[in-house]
Amino acid sequence: MSLRLGDDAPNFKAQTSQGEIDFYEFLGDGWGVLFSHPADYTPVCTTELGRTAALKEEFAKRNVKVAALSVDSVESHHGWISDINETQGVEVTFPIIADEDRKIAEAYDMIHPNASLNATVRSLFIIGPDKKIKLIITYPASTGRNFNEILRVIDSLQLTAYHSVATPADWKDGEDVVVLPSIKTEDIPDKFPKGHKVVKPYLRTTPQPNK
Please choose, from the candidates 152, 153, 163, the residue with its C-alpha nearest in 3D space to the C-alpha of residue 208.
163
CA pair distance 195, 23, nearest whole angstrom:
42
| CB 205 within 8 Å of CB 199 | yes
Is there a catalytic annotation at residue 40?
Answer: no
Set 27, 33, 34, 45: catalytic member: 45
CA distance 14 to 22: 7
Name the β-bridge partners of 200: 203
Which residue blocks in 62-146 are alpha helix, DSSP H? Answer: 74-88, 103-107
- Kindly list the catalytic residues: 45
